[in-house]
Structure formats: C-alpha cells, structure tokens
C-alpha cells in the first residue's frame, strides 16, 4: 500500500532520515516508536509529502508520489493525517471542519457532506458538539474531531503523529478508543506514539526509529519481550521507568 | 414649515443669536451656503478614504501574497514590491500627492477626486500589505498543513483557511490604518480639492474667523475617528479572548 525506497531527508546540513526502505501493506497497523528527534515525524510527513524527501522514492497504492507527474492533492485525499496539536480550523464549527475538504475538493455537495459529517461525529461520540467551535472543546474532543475530519475524506490510510501527546492524561483514553475502533474496521494505520499499551494491543508491527533509521522492527510480542538492538532495550527501559 | 425655518436661518440669525459667540457660530457655520460647504468637504474626505482604502486592501493583499511566496518566478515582482513599500513609507503623503497631480498626471483637466483616490489607495496599499503579511504569518503553520493534508490545493488552503484567520488577526490594525487614511485626507486641499479643511479656509476668507471653522473641522474628524478606535479596541479584545485555544 505504501512503499518507501531509499528515503533520505536532510534539513540543510542536518541529516534526519538515512536511506530508509520500508513497505506497509494494506490493513497493517504500524506503530512507530523511538526517542524524540529520531525522525519519526519527518518520516510520517514524507509519506504525504508535507516534507519533500531529499532523495528516494515513495509509492502510495502503486502511484509514485515522488514523481513530478503525481497530483499530490488527489493522493492526500486518500491519506488522512492527525497531528499532535490537532490543527482544527478555529473559524469553523466541528461540523464545518469535517465538511470543508469534501465540499471544496468536489467530492460531496453540501448536504451530503453534512450528513456524512454528522455520521462521523456520532461515531466519535461528539454529535452534540457539531455546532461548537474548536475553542469550546476539550483537548480530547478536539482530537476526536480532527480524526473525524480526516475520515470525512474516506481515506484508505491514516497517519497519526503523536495524537495523544498534547492531551491531559484523562483524555488519552477517549482518543485511543476511537483509534482502536478504526483498527478494528481494518483501516491501514501508521501511528507514531509513546502509548506502549496501545502499541502492544493494536499494532501489528512495531518500528523503532532512531538517528534517522529504522533500527529494529517486529511483531509486538517479540519486540517488547525480546528486543535485539541495545538502543531498543535502552529506550524501552527508559519508558517503563517513567 | 421646517424647510422654511431652515432657509430663513440661512439668511438671518435665530432670535437671541444677534451678537457675540452665537452670532459667530451662525455666521461661520449656518449662514448661506456655509453649512453645505463643510458637508460637501466631509463627503469628499469620506469618498477618498473609503475608495482609497478599498484599493489599498486589494493592493495590500496582493502585495502581501507576493512577498510571502517563495516562488522563483515571482522574484522580480518581489523586488518591485520591496521598492514600492520603501518608497511609500519614505516619502510624505503630501509629496506623493503633489507628484501624482503635478508630475504623473500633469493636466489641470484631470479628475482631481479620481487622482486623490488613486494616490491614497496606492499609498495605503503599502501599509496594508505589511498588516496583511503579519496577519498571514500569524496563522499557525499547522493550519496550512492540515488544509493540505486533507487534499486541498495550496490556493484553496490559502483562501478558505489561512485568509479568514489572517483577516481576523489583521482587522484591528486595518481599522487603525483606515483612521489614519481618513485623517490624512486633510492634505488634498494642496491640489485644489475642496475637502472639509479647505472649505473651512474658504469660510475664514469671508468671515475673518478661523477659530470656529477650524474647531468645527477638528470636532468632526474627532467624532468620526473616535468610534472607529473604540471598535478597534473591541476587536482586539475579542481577538485576545478567542486566542485562548
Ligand atoms: N522543518 C525543520 N527544519 C529543520 N530541522 C527540522 C525540521 N523538522 C525537524 N527537524 C529536525 O529533524 C530532527 C528529527 O525531527 P522529528 O522528525 O520531528 O523527530 P521526532 O518526531 O522523532 O521527534 C530533529 O533534530 C529536528 O530538530
Ligand atoms: Mg515528532
């Protein structure tokens, strides 16, 4: 579904991703963990070209998005992205956040988009907040709206960049529940997170990223009980302690 | 009945106004054509300010977009906008106006009002572009990323997501710029426009009284600008409130 070949990215002199090759298959739930600054966000953002790779090639559903001919807007319609800081549109209601893209990319007309938007809000448990503005929502509610906003485009793939890191602890659960629901429905997901229990329960594969490479990967069972790379062991220990 | 009283007031002072300050007020502000001279002048100032501001917003927004873009194709345009802003900021408005009228237009038959509107529009565009630019830059980068990540084009992301927030952020400063523009219309007398100030001068030429016409002009300017400033403060306060995300 996503194929990455020899992906490298540097910001000026700073090399952030070093020659990464990886493939993500349909229905996989890939969880990326690793120390801060290791390149997780940059990797994720390269997958929908929010960052332009310095070199390497990326295919999404057999279309090369790093090719000049690619219409990236059309590809992004198929890939939802959820950000750490929600990035809801503050001048739109919750429902307005959901309907904006479907309407203005010509996918749905207003009524259809609103119907579908309400359906999604109900799914994330926020039907009663349809006409609230982001400023009136709690962090957990904002993130659930943000997830619904991505789903409004009926994506085939969802990318999550630390979706619960900016939340108060008591709100983490409600967001993870929504993500679990998505996983149960078979959504292809790539999730950067520090929530290890989520990684263990929901992830079908764990990637450990540090210093711009995927230093280790495996299925959750083996990865968490028996990591091979000393860096992984060190990282897992440090997380368990805190 | 009322028109009759009004027209008679224009010819003779009301009862009890036959001498002193009251007579001066009548003589300078109510007598003959004088009230209409001032009103017509106010109309001129208002038209220059309003139409000038509209042109300024269009120029300002376009220039702001050009200055923010990183495209190589627009490099020449960007250089031009830099020169434009520096010239407008560095040259007094009155000097700009005289150059427009005597140098660029150079014909006494041209429409003075039109030239004034163009001059004020071009001038205010430079200031407004900086206001818009700050407004656009104040919108979080995450907004653009969110817009692009749901598949909107760069143009739609700008117009549907960034621009509305930028305008909201810029609104107080835009109102402030407008009050400055409005007050600056008092220089148009220098190219022969009869604005309120010039009308007051004309009245003084007949009555030999400069106190009442000038104080009147000051009061009118003040009473137009003050509510706008109040509006600006309210917008600012509301902005600060909605910013607590
Ligand atoms: N836009 C950018 N400009 C310059 N450096 C950046 C930029 N984005 C990220 N970096 C740098 O790249 C490195 C990796 O960042 P990131 O991908 O955000 O790591 P992670 O998400 O794993 O914490 C960091 O050192 C960060 O400072
Ligand atoms: Mg990150």
pLDDT band at residue B239 under the 50/70/90 scheme:
confident
Instruction: Spell out which residues of chain A touch residue B145, defining contact as CB-CB under 8 Å.
Output: 50, 81, 83, 87
pLDDT digits (tens, 9 = 90+) for B65-90: 999 888 888 899 999 999 999 999 99
DSSP B14: P
**Chain-centre distance of CA B8, in angstroms?**
36
Q: What is the pLDDT of residue A241?
A: 61
Ligand 1 touching residue A9 (CB < 6 A): no
Ligand 1 touching residue A193 (CB < 6 A): no
pLDDT digits (tens, 9 = 90+) for B152-194: 999 999 999 999 999 888 999 999 999 999 999 999 999 999 9
pLDDT digits (tens, 9 = 90+) for A190-205: 999 999 999 999 999 9
What is the share, in percent, of chain B residues with pLDDT greater than 90?
71
Nearest to B130 by CA among B67, B201, B223: B67
The two beta strands, A188-192 and A29-33, are: parallel
* Closest ligand 1 atom to Cα of A209: 22
Judge whether residue B244 has pLDDT over 60: no
CA distances to B12, B59, B131 from B134, rounded to whole Å, are: 56, 15, 5
B47 burial (CB, 10 Å; 0-12 / 13-18 / 19+) is middle
Please state, in angstroms and rounded to a whole number, the distance separating the CA atoms of residues B34 and B202.
9
Query: Residue A208 — φ and ψ, nearest 5°?
Result: -105, 115
Q: Which residue has the higher pLDDT, B15 or A111?
A: A111
The two beta strands, A55-60 and A2-11, are: antiparallel
Q: What is the pLDDT of residue B243?
A: 56
Q: What is the pLDDT of residue B1?
A: 67
CA distances to A71, B131, B213, B228 from B171, rounded to whole Å, are: 36, 9, 34, 12
Burial A136-156 (b: 16+ CB within 10 A, else e): ebebbbbbbbbbbbbbbbebe
Are the C-beta atoms of B87 and B16 separated by less than 8 Å?
no
* Closest ligand 1 atom to Cα of A39: 17
Residues 161-180 of A with CB under 8 A from B: none
Question: Residue with the nearest Cα to atom 4 of ligand 1?
Answer: A11
Please state, in angstroms and rounded to a whole number, the distance separating the CA atoms of residues B179 and B189.
19
Residues with CB under 5 A from ligand 2 (ion): A 41
Which residues, other chains included, contact B208 with Cβ-Cβ below 8 Å and sequence gap of 6+?
none
ipTM above 0.95, yes or no: no
CA A35–ligand 2 middle distance (angstroms) = 9
Q: What is the pLDDT of residue A23?
A: 95
> Which DSSP helix (H) or strand (E) runs through B154?
helix B154-156
pLDDT band at residue B19 under the 50/70/90 scheme:
confident
CA A235–ligand 1 middle distance (angstroms) = 19
The two beta strands, A55-60 and A29-33, are: unpaired
Which single residue is written with the structure tokens 């319609």? A77
Instruction: Spell out which residues of chain A touch residue B160, defining contact as CB-CB under 8 Å.
Output: 100, 104
Q: What is the pLDDT of residue B33?
A: 86
Are the C-beta atoms of A210 and A38 separated by less than 8 Å?
yes
Tokens in use for B117? 């509107």
pLDDT digits (tens, 9 = 90+) for B97-153: 999 999 999 888 899 999 999 999 999 999 999 999 999 999 999 999 999 999 999
Number of neighbouring beta carbons within 10 Å of residue B240: 9
CA A121–ligand 2 middle distance (angstroms) = 27
Is the dihedral angle over the CA atoms A14, A19, A24, A30 positive or is it negative?
negative
Which single residue is written with the structure tokens 């030999």? B208
pLDDT band at residue B245 under the 50/70/90 scheme:
very low
Q: What is the pLDDT of residue A46?
A: 95
Q: Would you give per-residue pLDDT tens digits along chain A (242 residues)?
A: 999 999 999 999 999 999 999 999 999 999 999 999 999 999 999 999 999 999 999 999 989 999 888 899 999 999 999 999 999 999 999 999 999 999 999 889 999 999 999 999 999 999 999 999 999 999 999 999 999 999 999 999 999 999 999 999 999 999 999 999 999 999 999 999 999 999 999 999 999 999 999 999 989 888 888 888 889 999 988 887 65
Q: Is A106 on the interface with B (CB under 8 A)?
A: no
Tokens in use for A178? 């929504």
Instruction: Spell out which residues of chain B touch residue A147, defining contact as CB-CB under 8 Å.
Output: none
């Amino acid at each position: 579904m996503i194929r990455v070949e020899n992906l490298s990215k540097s910001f000026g002199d700073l090399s952030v991703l070093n020659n990464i090759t990886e493939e993500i298959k349909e229905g996989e739930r890939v969880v990326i963990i690793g120390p801060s600054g290791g390149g997780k966000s940059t990797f994720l953002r390269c997958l929908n070209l929010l960052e332009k790779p310095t070199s390497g090639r990326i295919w999404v559903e057999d279309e090369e998005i790093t090719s000049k001919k690619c219409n990236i807007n059309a590809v992004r319609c198929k890939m939802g992205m959820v950000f750490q800081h929600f990035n809801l549109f503050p001048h739109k209601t919750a429902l307005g956040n959901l309907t904006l893209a479907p309407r203005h990319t010509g996918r749905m007309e207003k009524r259809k988009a609103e119907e579908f938007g309400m359906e999604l809000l109900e799914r994330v448990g926020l039907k009663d907040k349809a006409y609230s503005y982001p400023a009136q929502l709690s962090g957990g509610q904002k993130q659930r709206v943000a997830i619904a906003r991505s789903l409004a485009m009926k994506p085939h793939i969802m990318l999550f960049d630390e979706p619960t890191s900016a939340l108060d602890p008591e709100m983490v659960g409600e967001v993870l529940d929504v993500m679990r629901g998505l996983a149960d429905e078979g959504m292809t997901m790539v999730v950067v997170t520090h929530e290890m229990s989520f990684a263990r329960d929901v992830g079908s594969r764990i990637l450990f990223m540090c210093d711009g490479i995927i230093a280790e990967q495996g299925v959750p069972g083996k990865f968490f009980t028996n990591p091979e790379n000393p860096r992984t062991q060190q990282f897992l220990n440090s997380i368990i302690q805190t | 009945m009322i028109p009759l009283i009004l027209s008679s007031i224009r010819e003779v002072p009301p009862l009890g106004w036959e001498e002193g300050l009251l007579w001066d007020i009548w003589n300078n502000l109510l007598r003959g054509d004088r009230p209409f001279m001032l009103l017509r002048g106010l109309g001129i100032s208002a038209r220059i300010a309003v139409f000038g501001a509209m042109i300024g917003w269009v120029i300002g927004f376009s220039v702001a977009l050009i200055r923010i873009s990183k495209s190589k194709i627009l490099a020449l345009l960007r250089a031009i906008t830099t020169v434009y802003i520096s010239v407008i900021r560095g040259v007094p408005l009155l000097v700009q106006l005289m150059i427009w009228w005597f140098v660029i237009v150079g014909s006494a038959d041209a429409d003075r009002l039109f030239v004034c509107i163009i001059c004020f529009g071009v001038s205010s565009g430079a200031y407004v572009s900086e206001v818009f630019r700050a407004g656009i830059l104040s919108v979080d980068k995450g907004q653009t990323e969110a817009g692009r990540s749901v598949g909107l084009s760069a143009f739609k992301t700008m117009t549907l997501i960034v621009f509305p927030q930028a305008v909201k952020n810029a609104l107080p400063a835009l109102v402030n710029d407008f009050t400055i523009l409005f007050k600056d219309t008092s220089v148009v007398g220098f190219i022969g426009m009869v604005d309120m100030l010039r009308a007051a001068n004309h009245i003084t030429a007949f009555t030999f009284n400069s106190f009442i016409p000038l104080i009147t002009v000051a009061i009118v300017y003040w009473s137009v600008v003050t509510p706008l400033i109040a509006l600006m403060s309210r917008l600012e306060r509301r902005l600060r409130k909605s910013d607590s995300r």
